[in-house]
Each structure stands twice: as C-alpha cells, then as structure tokens.
Amino acid sequence: MTTLTMNSFVPEKLINNLEKLTAAQADQIPFGVVKLNDQGSIELYNKYNYDVFAGFNGMSVIGKNYFTEIAPCANNFIFSGRFKRGVTNNELDIEFDYCFTYKLMPTDVRVRLYRDSSTGSNWIFVKKAD
C-alpha cells in the first residue's frame, strides 16, 4: 500500500507523534481524530468529532465499536473493509473522499486511515470537505 507523504490534511508531524498524543491535545486538532484497536473499538475520540459529526460525548464512545455503534454508515467495503485489510496486513495509510449519512444530513468528508505498524495503533482522521 502506498504511504502518503504529501497533500494530506493530516500533518506528518502529527503522524510521527501519535503515540504521545493525549486526549486534551487531540481535542485541539481542527479535524476528527479517532484511535481504534484492531477490532474497531474506540480508544480516543476527539472533540471535533462530536461537535461536527456524531453529536456523541467523547467519553461515552470509548470502548464502543466505531463501525457498528458510532458510525454504521462507515461499515462497508470502502471504509471498514480498508481498515480490516490494513490491520490484517499491518499496513494502512490511505486517504479518500467519503460521505457520512448517519445521524446527520449527508456530509462530504475527507478520510485518512492510518496504522502505525511499529505500535499496532490504528487511526481515523476525518475533515469536513471544503
């Protein structure tokens, strides 16, 4: 899988420091940040996500499955399928356009799925389309 190095809305400085990212720091980021375990359960969910997209309180989603409980509109081949393949292959860094439809009007977004293979951490970054 090709690694993104340019033209991403996610700064490489953030990618290179994900394991040091605290919940408070994540809340300051101007796009959605979600950390998932390999099964898709949420470990971190920043303020942007619940302010702009889902309307969930950040702490209420911890431990829930992102694809089945929080964003079931992402539980398909395009989104969760890519996530599952990346976890299986221990390699994931892809960015794509998507449309969220759950609990809100259809909302066009840019998504980046990323796996830090050295730590086994999985990340979803989401930004509302311009």
**What tens digit of pLDDT does each residue of 18-72 get?**
999 999 999 999 999 999 999 999 999 999 988 887 666 667 899 999 999 999 9
Q: What is the pLDDT of residue 25?
A: 97
Answer whether residue 81 shows pLDDT above 90: yes
Q: Kindly tell me if the per-residue pLDDT of 130 is higher than 50.
A: yes
pLDDT above 80 (res 10): yes
The whole-chain average pLDDT of the chain stands at: 90
Query: Is the per-residue pLDDT at 2 higher than 50?
Result: no
What is residue 23's predicted lDDT score, i.e. its pLDDT?
93
The band of 124, judged by pLDDT with boundaries at 50, 70 and 90, is very high
Task: Compute the distance between CA of residue 1 and CA of residue 92 in angstroms, rounded to an integer.
Answer: 7
Edge-to-edge, what's the strand order for the sheet holding 92-100? 42-45, 32-36, 121-128, 107-116, 92-100
Percentage, residues of the chain above pLDDT 70: 89
Q: How confident is the model at residue 103, as a pLDDT?
A: 65
Give the pLDDT confidence score for residue 50 in this predicted structure: 81
Domain 32-128, CATH number (from 3.40.50.300, 3.30.450.20, 3.30.420.40, 3.30.2320.50)? 3.30.450.20
What φ, ψ does residue 104 adopt, rounded to 5°?
-160, 165
Of 28, 17, 69, 80, the C-alpha closest to 51 is 28
Q: Is the pLDDT of residue 1 over 50?
A: no
Rounded Cα–Cα distance for residues 93 and 37 (Å): 16
Overall average pLDDT of the 85-111 stretch: 91
Do 127 and 39 contact (CB within 8 A), yes or no? Answer: no
